[in-house]
């Protein structure tokens, strides 16, 4: 059951009134106990054994299979099950993600992670599940259990055919970029992926992105991949007064031809059909359906042992089925799409820069919109086993393709994380994340916000359990 709509004008009701004294005492007790208990754990023990190394690969447009940004020769866990636990304390200066009446609060988070990696001659399985729980000092609106999970399966049916299944699931209250432990990814984003760079003020969000890929390897140079996908995102009541956000349900199908020109360079041609239905909002009509036909050429090349580049581009044709809120049908239109990604991975530094423009999901604020974004990620090994991760990005979601509506949202985001292994599978980390978003025009909610988070915590991983070879 969804919570009642939050109203920042009555922000006091978000604060728990069950008694300030006992909750303050409980919060301080948990905060103190967490760090006293975990610090000794991180000071002893041996590091886990490394797994097999994975070389950098040129990104492939269409599959959405981004790879984690790694150092050259960095080990990748394989054929093992792992379990870890962690706790963090953080300060959030805008818990409700609103542009007015900002409310800051301290909190602690508790998380665990289960990972399974298994590779055999015919089957490859990668599974990752992380539940995490928040406990705020004053505000209990988001004191709930959250879930994220990723699943990837590959079946080698014959020497020429392989079948892949992938699914990404998230059930989350609010936005916590410093706490979810997401790795920096490299390579181009799938053209059918849900918008992850526009933030919608909401109580909770459920999203699921799944797909099935059938690959036919015709020869050492040529392959064909037939893909189908299903994406869904649903919002709880938003945290600011306004009209409802847009829930999105979409299906897609694509066909990709890939030809390897040389050992390090491949050309590809991709055609994609997307069919998305948006419900709940009013600025663009309560229910609206968008169909997008895309064709894209791509080239991916390993320029050197440490540098890979992917460039892609092509036309899109957008049809809107149904009428807008003012009763005017929107004719079909052509748009250009394209982008690129460059990745460099060496022993002490790994970096990725990606650019992309396309008509796709509007992040809940809009139906389909013209989305332009640029992102970067840098990993750097420092002295004394310290490591830093720096990430950031800029995005614009523009609804000008709807001729009667003028909505636009600009987002700037970034963060830095310092971490150091302490032995015995324990890792200490401290991070800072910031988000700045400005919206103009017709919007379902007030989506302008500034938000900053500072986090400090520990993670502990038990010795992995081997799953054989």
pLDDT for residue 33 is more than 50: no
Indicate the burial class of 25 (C-beta count within 10 angstroms; 0-12, 13-18, 19 or more): exposed
3-state secondary structure of 24: helix
What are the structure tokens assigned to 381, written together? 């090994």
Residue 240: closest CA among 56, 74, 40, 439: 439
Assign 215 a pLDDT band (cuts: 50, 70, 90): very high
β-bridge partners, 113 = 84
**How far apart are the C-alpha atoms of 175 and 196, rounded to whole Å?**
11
What are the structure tokens assigned to 252, written together? 């897609």
CB 85 within 8 A of CB 459: yes
Range 283-306 average pLDDT:
85
Domain 8-466 matching CATH 2.40.160: the answer reads: yes
CB 416 within 8 A of CB 431: yes
Residue 338 vs residues 198, 297, 311, 316: alpha-carbon distances, Å: 19, 9, 8, 10
**How far apart are the C-alpha atoms of 200 and 404, rounded to whole Å?**
22
CB within 8 A of 31, min separation 6: which ones? 89, 106, 108
Model pTM score: 0.81
Range 134-160 average pLDDT:
91
CB 302 within 8 A of CB 56: yes
DSSP summary character for residue 23:
H
**How far apart are the C-alpha atoms of 87 and 179, rounded to whole Å?**
9
Q: Which residue has the higher pLDDT, 162 or 404?
A: 162
**How far apart are the C-alpha atoms of 325 and 399, rounded to whole Å?**
14
Rg of the Cα trace of the chain? 23
Q: Which of 7-21, 52-66, 150-164, 288-302 has the lowest mean pLDDT?
A: 52-66
CB 240 within 8 A of CB 96: yes
Q: Which residue has the higher pLDDT, 398 or 9?
A: 398
CB 335 within 8 A of CB 401: yes
Range 342-359 average pLDDT:
93
Q: Residue 177 has what pLDDT?
A: 56
- Please identify which residue in the block is written with the tokens 């979810």: 180
Q: Which residue has the higher pLDDT, 14 or 338?
A: 338
pLDDT for residue 393 is more than 60: yes
CB within 8 A of 429, min separation 6: which ones? 88, 417, 418, 419, 420, 455, 456, 457, 458, 459
Q: Residue 202 has what pLDDT?
A: 73
Q: Residue 154 has what pLDDT?
A: 95
pLDDT for residue 226 is more than 50: yes
pLDDT for residue 176 is more than 90: no
β-bridge partners, 109 = 88, 134
pLDDT for residue 160 is more than 70: yes
Domains of the chain by residue range: 8-466
Q: Residue 49 has what pLDDT?
A: 31
> Quick count: other Cβ atoms within 10 Å of Cβ 315?
13
Where residue 425 falls (left for φ over 0; alpha for ψ -120 to 50; beta otherwise) is left
Range 56-62 average pLDDT:
42
**How far apart are the C-alpha atoms of 57 and 459, rounded to whole Å?**
29
pLDDT for residue 44 is more than 50: no
Range 92-118 average pLDDT:
89
> Quick count: other Cβ atoms within 10 Å of Cβ 106?
17
Q: Residue 4 has what pLDDT?
A: 41
pLDDT for residue 392 is more than 80: yes
Average pLDDT, the chain: 81
Q: Residue 444 has what pLDDT?
A: 54
Q: Which residue has the higher pLDDT, 272 or 65?
A: 272
**How far apart are the C-alpha atoms of 153 and 341, rounded to whole Å?**
25
Q: Which residue has the higher pLDDT, 325 or 420?
A: 420
Q: Which of 25-39, 100-114, 350-364 has the lowest mean pLDDT?
A: 25-39
CB 381 within 8 A of CB 391: no
CB 68 within 8 A of CB 451: no
Residue 240 sits at φ, ψ, to 5 deg, of -130, 150
């Amino acid at each position: 059951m969804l919570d009642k709509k939050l109203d920042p004008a009555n922000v006091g009701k978000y604060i728990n009134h069950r008694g300030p004294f006992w909750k303050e005492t409980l919060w301080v007790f948990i905060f103190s106990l967490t760090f006293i208990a975990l610090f000794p754990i991180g000071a002893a023990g041996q590091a886990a054994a490394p797994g097999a190394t994975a070389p950098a690969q040129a990104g492939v447009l269409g599959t959405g299979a981004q790879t984690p940004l790694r150092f050259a020769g960095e080990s990748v866990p394989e054929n093992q099950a792992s379990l870890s636990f962690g706790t963090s304390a953080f300060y959030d200066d805008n818990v409700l993600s609103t542009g007015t009446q900002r409310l800051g609060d301290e909190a602690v988070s508790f998380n665990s992670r289960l990972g399974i990696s298994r590779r055999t001659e015919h089957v490859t399985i990668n599974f990752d599940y992380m539940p995490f729980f928040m406990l705020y000092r004053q505000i209990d609106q988001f004191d709930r259990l959250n879930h994220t999970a990723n699943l990837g399966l590959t079946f080698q049916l014959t020497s020429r055919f392989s079948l892949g299944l992938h699914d990404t699931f998230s059930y989350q209250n609010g936005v916590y970029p410093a706490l979810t432990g997401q790795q920096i990814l490299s390579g181009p984003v799938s053209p059918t992926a849900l918008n992850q760079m526009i933030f919608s003020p909401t109580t909770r969000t459920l999203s699921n992105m799944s797909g099935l890929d059938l690959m036919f390897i015709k020869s050492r140079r040529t392959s064909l991949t037939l893909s189908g996908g299903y994406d869904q995102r649903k919002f709880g009541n938003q945290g600011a007064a306004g009209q409802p956000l847009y829930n999105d349900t979409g299906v897609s199908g694509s066909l990709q031809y890939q030809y390897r020109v040389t050992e390090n360079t491949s050309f590809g041609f991709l055609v994609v059909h997307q069919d998305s239905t948006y419900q709940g909002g009013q600025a663009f009509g309560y229910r609206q359906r968008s169909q997008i036909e895309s064709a894209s050429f791509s080239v991916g090349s390993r320029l050197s042992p440490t540098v890979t580049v992917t460039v892609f581009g092509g036309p899109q044709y957008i049809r809107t089925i149904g009428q807008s809120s003012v009763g005017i049908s929107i004719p079909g239109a052509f748009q250009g799409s394209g982008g690129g990604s460059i990745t460099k991975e060496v022993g002490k530094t790994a970096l990725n820069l990606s650019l992309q423009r396309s008509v796709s999901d509007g992040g809940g604020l809009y139906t389909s919109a013209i989305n332009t974004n640029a992102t970067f990620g840098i990993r750097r090994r420092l002295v004394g086993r310290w490591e830093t991760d720096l990430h950031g990005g800029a995005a614009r979601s523009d609804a000008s393709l709807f001729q009667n509506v003028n909505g636009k949202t600009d987002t700037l985001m970034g963060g830095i994380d310092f971490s150091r292994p302490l032995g015995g599978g324990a890792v200490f980390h401290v991070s800072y994340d910031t988000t700045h978003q400005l919206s103009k025009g017709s919007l379902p909610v007030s989506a302008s916000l500034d938000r900053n988070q500072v986090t400090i915590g520990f993670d502990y991983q038990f010795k992995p359990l081997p799953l054989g070879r």
